[in-house]
Structure 1
Amino acid sequence: MSRNSSGKKVIKKTKGFSSGTRTPKPAIFFLGFLLVLVGILGILYNPSNSMEETLKWDLSEAGILSFPERGEPVFTVREVEDLYSPENPDTLKLVSFESGGDKVQALLRIPANASPSSPGIILLPGAGVSKEGEQGLAMELSKLGYATFTLDQRNQGAINIERDLELFRAGLEPVEYLMVYDVLKAADVLSVQPEINPEKLAVLGESNGGRFAVIACALEPFIKGVIGISTSGYGTEELDSSQVTDFEACQFYRSIDPDNYLSDLPPSKLVMVHSFNDTVISHELALRTFALAEEPKAMYNTTEETHGYTASMHPYLEKELSLLLN
């Protein structure tokens, strides 16, 4: 079902007015100024003048999200100082790109020892972590020879499912749909960078970022694989839509659950890395998601009592990225 309005404006015609008296010149000039100002504001705020229209999306009966074919990526790039590791010889660029009618920013890190056409990784931080805060992991990946494209996720990766459900019911774009679309647009932007091999792209997400990473990878065949760190699905595949009283809510909850997209991942590979003692998402939930996934897939476990990336996960990333992108 399409949740978008047509975007067409209804223009009402109004009759001209005549008071039967002559309007003083200052009033005429003031009125003319107002008309010009209104016209300028109309041009500036007319949605049809944006470089990308409001996001369009559809859901299947089973609640699987889809988007229409995307246009050419629109973006700007400028090199910036690497404040996160001044001694690091990497090249760091700030990229601003169009997505769903908004501007999204990302940091593109190009390894100093990069080949003329490097593999690229879209990096999605966990909730509350900015693109700058994810540069520690980005630098580790750079040392392995991978360029990273780290997104500034909307709400810094935090989600409000009930608020998104309200937007869904109103026919408006849930923020989580926009966040998935941002990943798809990021893949488009990354693939056309001169330093990147467009045939060697993967997406890596931590926690909530891992959820968006799985959905985006399932929707975009040219992404070779997805690595989810400290993440899982929600288990909504067990909901029986024929038995629920609120079909709309059921459909929405399914649409944001990566578990429901796992069958669409192959031939892209799913890699999961999770701690037995994760403090936020239990290891059992991660195992459940992994069990639902089809081959090719791989899972690695660590023991730290924490949530998110740890140094002990490094060997697994090195191994799996080499299999995915080299």
Structure 2
Amino acid sequence: MRAVIILIIILIAATAIAGCTSSPPATPSYSVNNNGVLSVTCAPVTTTENMLFSNETYTESRVVLHTQTGDVVTYLSYPKQPKAVMVYIPGAGEKISGHAERMVTYAAAGYAFMFVDIRGRGGETEGDAFNPQTDYARFESGNWPQYYLTICDISSARAVLASRFSVPVYAVGGSNGGRYAAVAAGVDPKFAGYVGISTADWGLRDAVLDQGGSGDILRFATSLEPSTYLPGISPRPVWMFHNATDPFIPFADGKALFATANEPKTFIEFNGDHGINSDVDQRLIAQWAQIYGT
């Protein structure tokens, strides 16, 4: 009898140990379904952070995401207890220096702001300038297109910030950055919502269709377009900002992208020309004040 009891204890202990054993992290992978919708399994990242400045209003630091395919540089500003966080994807030519005042503005309003220097912008993060042909060749060979790696980078930034602050994290982007942010918000359902500024579809899918393309090349082109993902962001909110006289991305194209989103959604015409500015900041803060309070 004693031997039976000992055996039962051993089995119970073994079961408890087995239940506590964590599974190894999933192998990084991506897939694109027949509708051109991207799914990704991203490798875990580690981070290195260097504080740059701190006062009673906010702290600013340089945070490097160490991924399996290279380092991605980000800059983070945050108050002591942020109510929400924005992962900001910049457009072409935007530098972190141009966002110094913005970082203070959002922190003073109670929000954290992360500037992600995505791959291929010519900044501190290495990579190639966005080239659909080069990325399609990678896609066809079964390798990771840089575009998809960038989506993982944005999703990884969200995971790092959500774990750190335990508050909602939004995907935000201006111009080309708004395109990446839209895809990331659609691919990663843990983003709290999406904010697009002066942005629209790339037009790659329409170009492929106009040339009679189909199959893999059409699936790939579709996987890059923000409009592929905007409908699926609902019931999370979508805010889009555009200026009627935008000199780079036509107002009508921004409205066309907005039309593909489901409710809840808000379209705001702002004062300026192209890209994020102080008017967008104040309007967005006013929108979020309705959710998180002043």
TM-score interval, smaller chain: 0.7 to 0.9
TM-score (norm 2): 0.79
Aligned to 1:164: 135
Deviates more, 1:121-130 or 1:273-282: 121-130
Deviation at 1:234, TM superposition (A): 3.3
Q: Which amino acid in structure 2 is aligned with residue 159 of structure 1?
A: F
- Map 1:291-310; keep pairs closer than 5 Å: 291-304=259-272, 306-310=273-277
Aligned to 1:205: 173
SS at 1:178 equivalent: helix
Deviation at 1:232, TM superposition (A): 1.1
The alpha-carbon distance between structure 1 residues 291 and 236, as it changes in their structure 2 partners (threshold 3 A), is farther
Q: Which has the higher helix share?
A: 2
- Say whether 1:177 aligns with 2:145: no
8 Å Cα contact 2:57/2:108 also seen in 1: no
Unpaired runs of 5+ residues, structure 1, are: 1-51
Aligned to 1:66: 39
Aligned to 2:113: 148
The alpha-carbon distance between structure 1 residues 219 and 323, as it changes in their structure 2 partners (threshold 3 A), is farther
SS at 2:120 equivalent: helix
- Say whether 1:122 aligns with 2:90: no
Q: Tell me how far apart the structure 1 counterparts of residues 219 and 105 of structure 2 sit (CA, whole Å).
A: 39
8 Å Cα contact 2:179/2:199 also seen in 1: yes
Structure number with larger C-alpha Rg: 1
Cα deviations by residue, 1:32-69 (Å, 9 ceiling, x for unpaired) = xxxxxxxxxxxxxxxxxxxx99852110011111012x
- Say whether 1:311 aligns with 2:284: no
The alpha-carbon distance between structure 1 residues 100 and 294, as it changes in their structure 2 partners (threshold 3 A), is farther
Q: Tell me how far apart the structure 2 counterparts of residues 128 and 209 of structure 1 sit (CA, whole Å).
A: 11
Q: Tell me how far apart the structure 2 counterparts of residues 279 and 54 of structure 1 sit (CA, whole Å).
A: 43
Deviation at 1:288, TM superposition (A): 0.3
Q: Tell me how far apart the structure 2 counterparts of residues 103 and 311 of structure 1 sit (CA, whole Å).
A: 30
SS at 1:143 equivalent: helix
Choose the corresponding residue for 2:52, options 58, 62, 80: 80
The alpha-carbon distance between structure 1 residues 277 and 168, as it changes in their structure 2 partners (threshold 3 A), is same
Deviation at 1:188, TM superposition (A): 0.9
